[in-house]
A and B are shown apart, each in its own frame.
Chain A
């Protein structure tokens, strides 16, 4: 089985998903699993959830210089998922031109396999792509 690039990326038996947790006390949604709420400090209130796969582009930068072996330029995006979680990822499917990328554009999460820089085999990872109808 393919390993996943980060612990919260789950292969899900052919239906990949992003693992998250929701606090039963304050409702905050986190990326990844956890036992205690960093926001309201409640203990034993965390329920595992599958994170939303739709959201909006909150912030971005275009990375032109990265670590050796990493293909540039690419868009490093911060997305507010529709369930309230916040996620960093690479935005694909749009021109990496800061002048044309729109804050607030709707995006969806897609899963794919890719070989990380310096690795010799593919890992399961995710990217953001423009939501249907938002494509430029």
Chain B
């Protein structure tokens, strides 16, 4: 089977746009991606549109109403924090299956400020533990501390690194340095997570044009193409504590093993990673889940600068969800945009020199919901 390529990809700068609409934000990213490919909506044979907040609101169709109603099939996708990556993978599958040659994938979200989590009805929050996202990811960090002695300062260092990276990314929501003392001294949300160790709720959108190999050659677009070496998804395999304590590791390990196998590479061949740092604790845990280091060594990786820009395998050079922002439905495609930009050698000040292979990872879910994970391996053409 021939490969599938990204020929156009872009994102809007993440931020707060209360005056805009969800389809409007989606349309902005879609047009940017089409322009990047040098194509128009008339060239698209299908659309996969990822969004969580208006999952029943036909966002894809409403977006087409803003940029051109050509009658193409639209699939609206919702899959927690893996929503955008799921739309992207669905687009990839239709091309891989030989159904279409040129497909548009869009991810979009408009969010309020404040804590995520909880649900409807009478809330057990406080009486029966906590159901906030920070508390869930605090547990994951505490479990890592218990097993391996990981410290508050090591978790905090993740935020120092990613906020530093974001100062080099014009599409990041925040672009300010946050020294270790400031990160550790910020408002404590759920031990060991301070406010600066929690990702930012923002509005945003990202989009990609995917194309079959045959069509890329026919249209002469190989000069801007990025090869998709692997596209994998997983849900949470059974883990003992998952109903009490949502598990984001099992699904990540399953998808990572399958992605490396599909790509025919090992983790040591990866030159940069955009992973799901929804909270600082998550980044360290996923170093191990993605095979960037042995279990228990994540603290060492952040201490010695391996995952900082200039290190052996820079992680979240975009600024990550922690600083660039985390518009849930857009994040998956925004991660793919970041890695693609490095593989094209167009990442400017934050360019990972000589990047040939990059990996993107998103994983989402919630208490009692289960998890969705998506991993993509991309290669410079």
Binding site for B on A (CB under 8 A): 5-6, 28, 30-31, 38-39, 58-67, 70-72, 74, 76-80, 86-90, 98, 103, 114, 116-119, 123, 125-127
Contacts and interface: CB of A to CB of B under 8 A. Distances in A.
Contacts of A126: 128
A28 B244 CA distance: 14
Contacts of B245: 59, 78, 86, 88
Contacts of A117: 123, 125-126
A122 to B, nearest CB: 10
A78 B188 CA distance: 20
A90 B126 CA distance: 7
Given A61-B138, A78-B244, A67 B123 contact: yes
B142 A61 contact: yes
Contact of B146 (A31, A59, A89, A114): A59
A63 B143 contact: no
Contacts of B189: 63-65
Contacts of A116: 122-127
Interface string B216-240: 0000000000000000000000101
A6 B134 CA distance: 22
11 contacts: A38-B238, A61-B190, A62-B191, A65-B132, A74-B130, A86-B240, A86-B241, A88-B245, A90-B126, A98-B191, A125-B124
Nearest to A3: B122
Interface of B: 115, 117-118, 122-130, 132, 134-135, 138-139, 142-143, 146, 187-192, 238, 240-241, 243-245, 367
A64 B126 contact: no
Nearest to B195: A65
B342 to A, nearest CB: 35
A72 B191 CA distance: 12
B314 to A, nearest CB: 29
Contact of B192 (A30, A88, A98, A103): A98
B130 A61 contact: yes
A127 B129 CA distance: 9
A42 to B, nearest CB: 12
Contacts of A59: 139, 142-143, 146, 245
B125 A70 contact: yes
Given A31-B243, A31-B244, A60-B142, A76 B129 contact: yes
Nearest to A84: B240
A78 B241 contact: yes
Nearest to B245: A78
A66 B124 contact: no
Contacts of A87: 244
B188 A64 contact: yes
B118 A67 contact: yes
A58 to B, nearest CB: 7
Given A65-B134, A90-B128, 10 more contacts: A5-B127, A59-B143, A61-B130, A61-B190, A66-B115, A67-B117, A67-B125, A67-B132, A76-B190, A86-B244
A11 B142 CA distance: 33
Contacts of A31: 243-244
Nearest to A67: B125
A6 to B, nearest CB: 6
B247 to A, nearest CB: 11
A76 B52 CA distance: 27
A80 B240 CA distance: 10
A39 B367 CA distance: 18
Contacts of A6: 124, 128
A21 to B, nearest CB: 12
B132 A119 contact: no
Nearest to A112: B127
Given A61-B191, A63-B132, A64-B189, A71 B138 contact: no
A63 B124 contact: no
B243 A64 contact: no
Contacts of A39: 238
B118 A65 contact: no
Given A61-B191, A65-B134, A86-B240, A70 B126 contact: yes
A123 B122 contact: yes
A76 B139 contact: yes
Contacts of B117: 67
B244 A65 contact: no
Given A66-B130, A67-B115, A78-B139, A5 B244 contact: no
Given A65-B115, A76-B139, A103-B146, A86 B124 contact: no
Given A31-B244, A78-B241, A116-B122, A65 B187 contact: yes
Contacts of A88: 128-129, 244-245, 367
